[in-house]
Structure 1
């Protein structure tokens, strides 16, 4: 009984071990199959990523515009369409770049700045309104802006010494309107925009300079920009607000009387000394103010009758300064008023042929200088 039991037990153990071994073998096969499947899947995914990544890299080379994720630093040009871009007075290359990027003329500020710096003529780009294509290459944009034909806005240049009436005519011409419309606009601007010290008179406050006229600008806009320019200039020279009208009056006389720039400070000295009474009557005695009061140019003959005309601008008969400026003075004349020469000069006479002025401290010296000028003129005849 014992031997049979043991034999059966051994057989049972062997059977269990075989079954266990079989299960383990099958489990290993299943595990191997799973590993094979996972490896295959990983290989397929890796191959897909490789192919996809390669296409991402190659596609922009075949068609750069097809991938929106690629940063465009400069357009290839030549561009298309049309857009107006305003370049303000005093704009740097960087300021221009900003305006052009906002209008989509160039792709990036960097592209334009590089093209601007690479072109030795770029500093010659003028302020104004430009008609340009969109999506131009930066190099083409610089070249186009150097061409005066691309400027669509009008420009007004006010020379030193021009009177308000001349400036009104120039504005009317540029805006293609009647002078009467500019005069009406001037009345409104004088009432609402001029500093109180000007007394409502535009004369002298329309700064001599060059201005950009944009297509939408009105006469009021242009006049205000001229007044603003005067204010900015006086601010930069630190002229007190209460002194500005007198400074402009004196500077306008210097502008009208002086031909040579190096004589401005001496004429400014004569004005100060005459106002202080060096001539004994406190009168300036300036022909330029007499002519202004008569509405004639200084070049017209001042007969004795005209010299004695009773106008508020006749500084031969009225002491002190005239009631207002007689033209638009330039900055050099204003600077001369603020920093006149030193000395006792009280008179001067100008040679209209040579532009030279002869200065004197006394009336006798002045009369001698006048004789010299007359002799020169008679000799030329």
Structure 2
């Protein structure tokens, strides 16, 4: 029997022949090879797809990291705040502090709704040559004003809402009380009560309870709620501050203010005040009567332009420097900074007399001897005769 007959049943071929076992094995191996190729191709395709995805992710991730490391700044522009069109609406009060900068003042005006922005106000401030002279105080203005109009309003004293008190050099306490009553509406009786409170007003002990000379001349701005005691305290504090700045010891304050008030009342030019103080100091040191009409006027309550008679000069009053040696008991008026400085540092001079021989031009003649002094008096009389 043929050996191929022993392989068992087979599959008929197209030509009717039955394939051998070897052919079947070959067919199986070919099918397995094709399967391996398909699997390999699938693996390769998968690898390519994964690689492509990884590449895309990598490149995009790199861009993202690069963007994080070097962020792109986006420029934003903000439109400048425009000025209010004006003229203004609701009235409002604003307070200007002393020595305030334009920026700080502008910020306070913005807070009050007066101007639109600090930048707009500062620009308008720089365009107004008078802006730097805005005085401290409380002003009546309006909300939503043009910045330029707001500056104009602050430059106008008529818009000051507070109380402005002007104390000029040479005023006496009664004259100051009259001015305070006129400006504040407080009665003289109420002011007398305020002046009586020496602790509240801060009057120094060396003043001996006398306010004369201790109220500093100047312009004072008080709010509507300021009490008379607070006003007086501010005026006295200014004098004490000036004395301290000049190096005047507390025990010398009264003498300096008193001498300064005598210099003030002579009404000479500031350039002659130190020399006048020098003459008065020489007479005080030599126990010579000062013989000043100004002290007699003060004692009698006369005005500065009232004539002083011989009878007046013989009236025995503490302030009569024709009868009493040395300085009077207290100053006789407020003292200007120039007269105060003259009293702090009197000129060194041998002169013992002085006469204002021309009261209009304020010409002063100084002399060492009584004879020269008499000649100066004759010159003064000649001026009076010529000028009626």
The normalised TM-score by structure 1 is 0.79
The aligned runs of 1:92-111 (5 Å cut-off) are 92-93=101-102, 96-97=105-106, 99-100=108-109, 103=112, 105-106=114-115, 111=120
The aligned runs of 1:209-288 (5 Å cut-off) are 209-277=218-286, 281-288=287-294
Contact 2:84 2:115 in 1 (8 A): no
The C-alpha deviation readout for 1:201-238, integer Å capped at 9, x for no partner, is: 21111111111122222212221221122122223322
Structure 2 residue aligned with 1:322: 328
The aligned runs of 1:284-295 (5 Å cut-off) are 284-295=290-301
Change (3 A) 1:132 1:3: farther
Contact 2:318 2:329 in 1 (8 A): yes
Number of equivalences:
351
Contact 2:279 2:349 in 1 (8 A): no
What SS does the corresponding residue of 1:232 show, helix, strand or coil?
helix
State the Cα RMSD in Å.
3.4
Q: Distance in 1 between matches of 2:93 and 2:220?
A: 18
Structure 2 residue aligned with 1:343: 349
Gaps in structure 1 of 5+ consecutive residues = 37-52, 65-71
- Once the two structures are overlaid, the 10-residue window that deviates more, 312-321 or 81-90, is 81-90
Residue 304 of structure 1: how far off its partner (Å)? 2.5
Contact 2:83 2:117 in 1 (8 A): no
Q: Distance in 2 between matches of 1:75 and 1:215?
A: 35
Residue 257 of structure 1: how far off its partner (Å)? 1.4
Contact 1:287 1:298 in 2 (8 A): no
What SS does the corresponding residue of 1:359 show, helix, strand or coil?
strand
Residue 378 of structure 1: how far off its partner (Å)? 2.9
Q: Distance in 2 between matches of 1:124 and 1:191?
A: 33
Residue 22 of structure 1: how far off its partner (Å)? 5.8
The C-alpha deviation readout for 1:116-168, integer Å capped at 9, x for no partner, is: 23322222322221233456554443333223343222311111101111111
The normalised TM-score by structure 2 is 0.78
Structure 1 residue aligned with 2:94: 85
Structure 2 residue aligned with 1:300: 306
What SS does the corresponding residue of 1:349 show, helix, strand or coil?
strand
Q: Distance in 1 between matches of 2:317 and 2:27?
A: 153
- Once the two structures are overlaid, the 10-residue window that deviates more, 112-121 or 21-30, is 21-30
What SS does the corresponding residue of 2:197 show, helix, strand or coil?
helix
What SS does the corresponding residue of 2:92 show, helix, strand or coil?
strand
- Once the two structures are overlaid, the 10-residue window that deviates more, 13-22 or 25-34, is 25-34
Larger Rg: 2
Q: Distance in 1 between matches of 2:247 and 2:113?
A: 41
Contact 2:299 2:319 in 1 (8 A): yes
Could you tell me which of 10, 27, 35 is aligned with 1:7? 27
